[in-house]
């Protein structure tokens, strides 16, 4: 097991079970997250016998960055994991800080037809450590602190729920990565039971819903998950989340030319979410390797935006990143495997 898979509480229990003091866990966390050591030998205040025990019970392997692509204010990283599988992360520079979009699975089983990741079926879940170490490896590379995390890369985070929760624990913990909970966003395509479960967590992280269609007929075609959890059930779960957490929800809406970007769809979208403590993030499509879908023209994006804005619903058009590199989810991994 990678030692980054352990939460502080897990590690405290581990030390108690081997008849060591509980505070050893905080010492190890300091070496891992504050001093960013790459080996157990660097943990000089633990003693030889304890270091040997840690080396026997854990590893400290970090995924390797094997490819990097750069564009204005954005970098895309392809990682090779210990089992030779590949994942990717996208780093974005904003006026409010540096954000990183990380992967949560190797591949994805959700099958959204416009998504490059959906064409590569899920091979396995990422471990907690593999999620955390995307952040740590890139921070080492750029020698800067990442301030915001989005779990919206390859994979469906709620399909890897337990590891996701441990990841949030270590990312948010002041002795871990110390990233504020409101600087962490988790995106789901709509696994309804997990939205309810997520509502009861202690973390005040942000929830984003990948919506992409305002009616069941269209969403069924674009996102197979909708056949299992249709919009009525999804919106009901979102209302529960808002009521339980008093947190605003983001609806992500990728605009696909002549598919979901018309006046009719805009008005249906208004009707669907009006009255909710939510806002809509309109996303210009970053065309994948297959080019089956096209980016909506700028004038049509603004028409769509204006319809929503006039209804006094909070709406933004996401700044475009990486149009000159493989920045859309799963593109770099897809190219590697092809």
Locus of tokens 């091979």: 123
How far is the CA of 31 from the CAs of 140, 164, 220, 338, in angstroms?
14, 23, 48, 39
Residue of 69, 88, 156, 265 marked catalytic:
88
Q: What is the CA radius of gyration of the chain?
A: 21
User: 124-125 and 97-102: which strand pairing?
Assistant: unpaired
What's the gap between Cα 39 and its chain centre?
Answer: 27
Report residue 16: phi and psi, to 5°: -60, -40
Residue of 101, 108, 189, 329 marked catalytic:
329
Lookup: tokens for 308: 């929503």
Is the CB of residue 70 less than 8 Å from the CB of residue 78? no
Residue 88 annotated among the catalytic residues of the structure: yes
Comparing C-alpha atoms, which of 94, 198, 112 is closest to residue 154? Answer: 112
What's the CA gap between 112 and 254, in Å, rounded?
A: 12
Beta-strand runs (E) in 82-189:
86-94, 97-102, 105-106, 124-125, 148-151, 184-188
**In the chain, what is the straight-line distance between the N-terminal and C-terminal CA atoms, in Å?**
31
Residue 329 annotated among the catalytic residues of the structure: yes
| Residue positions annotated with a catalytic role | 88, 329
């Amino acid at each position: 097991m990678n030692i980054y898979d352990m939460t502080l509480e897990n590690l405290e229990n581990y030390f108690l079970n081997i008849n060591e003091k509980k505070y050893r866990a905080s010492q190890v966390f300091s070496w891992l997250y504050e001093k960013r050591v790459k080996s157990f030998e660097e943990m000089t205040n633990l003693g030889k016998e304890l270091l040997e025990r840690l080396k026997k019970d854990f590893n400290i392997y970090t995924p390797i960055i094997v490819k990097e692509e750069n564009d204005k204010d954005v970098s895309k990283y392809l990682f090779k994991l210990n089992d030779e599988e590949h994942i990717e992360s996208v780093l974005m520079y904003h006026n409010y800080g540096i954000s990183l979009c990380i992967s949560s699975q190797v591949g994805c089983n959700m099958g959204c037809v416009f998504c490059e990741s959906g064409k590569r079926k899920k091979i396995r879940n990422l471990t907690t450590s593999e999620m955390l170490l995307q952040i740590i490896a890139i921070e080492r590379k750029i020698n800067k602190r990442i301030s915001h995390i989005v779990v919206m890369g390859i994979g469906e985070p709620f399909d890897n729920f337990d590891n996701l929760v441990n990841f949030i624990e270590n990312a948010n913990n002041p002795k871990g990565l110390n990233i504020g909970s409101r600087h962490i966003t988790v995106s789901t395509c709509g696994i309804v039971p997990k939205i309810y479960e997520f509502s009861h967590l202690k973390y005040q992280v942000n929830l984003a819903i990948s919506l992409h269609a305002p009616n069941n007929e269209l969403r069924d075609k674009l996102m197979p998950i909708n056949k299992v959890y249709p919009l009525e059930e999804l919106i009901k779960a979102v209302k529960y989340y808002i009521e339980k957490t008093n947190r605003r929800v983001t609806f992500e809406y990728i605009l696909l030319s002549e598919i979901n970007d018309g006046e009719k769809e805009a008005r249906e979208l208004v009707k669907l979410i009006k009255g909710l403590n939510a806002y809509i993030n309109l996303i210009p499509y970053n065309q994948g390797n297959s080019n089956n879908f096209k980016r909506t023209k700028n004038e049509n994006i603004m028409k769509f935006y204006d319809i929503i804005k006039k209804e006094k619903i909070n709406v933004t058009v996401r700044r475009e990143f990486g149009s000159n590199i493989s920045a859309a989810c799963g593109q770099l991994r897809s190219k590697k495997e092809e």
